[in-house]
Amino acid sequence: MARWGLFAEETVGSGDARRWEFELLGHADGTREDALHRLEEAALAYRPSKPLRVRRSRLYRSGEGFVQVNEGMTTTYLCRFTVAELIRDSKDPKSAAAADLQGRVPGGFSEGAR
């Protein structure tokens, strides 16, 4: 059974200091469709950090997840919601990619560098 990370990314700051901040909302086990369903629930309940007062919020479904457009008094902020399949967990030696990587990692790379 696959394990999926549920992620939110928000635009924060203003002007030249505007940037994306990334947050792991949680995990979902099962199919990608199961994870997208959980992500939709999380996106519908999500309260962005900006703007402080949301005048209008719209949630769109995309091929990769969801996009939320939050209009404030003077600025519009975006949130992206995506799922990503967990392929390696260094704390779980049974995870799929924790298997022997010999011959699959190009020269110059080491597992500790990831």
| Strand ranges (E), 1-114 | 3-12, 19-29, 56-62, 65-71, 76-85
Read off the pTM: 0.75
Per-residue pLDDT tens listing for the chain (114 residues): 899 999 999 988 777 888 899 999 999 999 999 999 999 999 999 988 878 888 999 999 998 899 999 999 888 889 999 999 999 888 876 765 444 444 555 556 555 554
pLDDT at residue number 75: 86
User: Of 7, 1, 25, which is closest to residue 64 (Cα–Cα)?
Assistant: 7
Kindly list the domain boundaries of the chain, sorted by start residue: 3-97
Distance CA(108)–CA(27), nearest Å, equals: 32
User: Of 18, 21, 64, 14, which is closest to residue 39 (Cα–Cα)?
Assistant: 64
